[in-house]
């Protein structure tokens, strides 16, 4: 069976995922719909689809819909779709945070196709085949369709429950977003002292390389795990921001406490 597909959204995720889905033989991406018609048109032209001006104008011949909007818009979009499409239409989103309850209950076949990755349109080196995808389906047949789609774009597909997905989303924020924030803080401190952030890249790359081979508990180094109070005091004396001092103390305390367990 070939599914007629509509994509709602034309942002970062839709930009990358629509191009990947467009090469799956059993999917025919027919329509792109976005709040801004010009954005829908740009993406539609990229994958040879049709741009639709307004969600209320979605054609009724759609078998499958991917809602790739902001998380807070998923329920509103699905409620609008419920007025236009049959209840058996396959409806999916790709939010790491939202659940199946964020779909209008009118739809019977809902699912989640979540890539554990952040996207931006400027990313040109994303290898989606290597990105883990988590999938959830409201029933066996829907889950089977999602598995076929996910297996067509990734070599790492895992069926999870909604609690597991929430934990994965939390840990992705901890390990990705928070880490990047510390990179940002480090860069600002370096620039204030006429130093280049690139000087830290080798040690950052080494850290990533290590955790591919060893458990993170085995790779932790630094003054906190040694409880080197003298070095930590010297660092705190260098920090002028009260907020950053609190972050330094909190992380140091956490490192030491976890190491003692």
pLDDT digits (tens, 9 = 90+) for 34-63: 999 999 999 999 999 999 999 999 999 999
Total tally of structural domains belonging to the chain: 2
Give per-residue pLDDT as tens, 82-103: 999 999 999 999 999 999 999 9
Range of the domain at 239: 165-260
11/80 same-domain check: yes
Asked whether residue 149 falls in the same domain as residue 56, the answer is yes
Q: Are residues 14 and 99 in the same domain?
A: yes
Same domain, 139 and 197: no
Residues 219 and 246 in one domain: yes
Q: How far apart are CA 256 and CA 240, in angstroms?
A: 23
Residue 173 is part of a domain; what is its CATH number?
1.10.1040.20
CA quadruple 234, 236, 237, 239: dihedral, nearest 10? 130
What are the structure tokens assigned to 105, written together? 């209950």
> pLDDT (tens digit, 9 = 90+) per residue, 121-159?
888 788 899 999 999 999 999 999 999 999 999 999 999
**Residues 174, 142 within the same domain:** no
Alpha carbon distances (Å) from 160 to 113, 133, 137, 143, 256: 11, 10, 9, 11, 32
Q: Categorise residue 222: left if φ over 0, alpha if ψ from -120 to 50, beta otherwise.
A: left
pTM, two decimals, is 0.91
Specify whether 140 is located in the same domain as 220. no
């Amino acid at each position: 069976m070939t599914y007629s597909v509509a994509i709602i959204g034309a942002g970062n995720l839709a930009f990358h995922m629509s191009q990947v889905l467009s090469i799956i033989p059993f999917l025919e991406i027919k329509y792109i719909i976005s709040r801004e018609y010009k954005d829908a048109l740009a993406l539609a032209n990229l994958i040879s689809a049709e741009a639709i001006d307004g969600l209320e104008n979605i054609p009724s011949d759609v078998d499958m819909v991917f809602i790739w909007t902001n998380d807070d818009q998923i329920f509103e979009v699905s409620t609008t779709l419920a007025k236009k499409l049959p209840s058996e239409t396959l409806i999916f989103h790709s939010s790491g945070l939202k659940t199946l309850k964020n779909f209008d209950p009118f739809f019977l076949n809902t699912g989640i196709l979540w890539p554990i990755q952040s996207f931006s349109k400027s990313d040109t080196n994303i290898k989606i085949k290597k990105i883990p995808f988590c999938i959830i389906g409201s029933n066996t047949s829907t889950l089977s369709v999602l598995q076929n789609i996910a297996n067509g774009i990734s070599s790492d597909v895992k069926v999870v429950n909604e609690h597991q997905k929430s934990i994965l989303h939390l840990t992705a924020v901890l390990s990705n977003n928070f880490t990047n924030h510390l990179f940002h803080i480090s860069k600002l401190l370096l620039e204030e002292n006429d130093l280049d952030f690139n000087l830290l890249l080798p040690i950052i790359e080494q850290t990533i390389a290590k955790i591919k081979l060893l458990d993170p508990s085995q790779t932790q180094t630094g003054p906190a795990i040694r409880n080197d109070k003298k070095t930590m005091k010297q660092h705190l004396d260098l920090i002028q921001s009260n907020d950053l001092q609190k972050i330094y103390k909190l992380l140091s305390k956490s490192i030491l406490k976890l190491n003692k367990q």
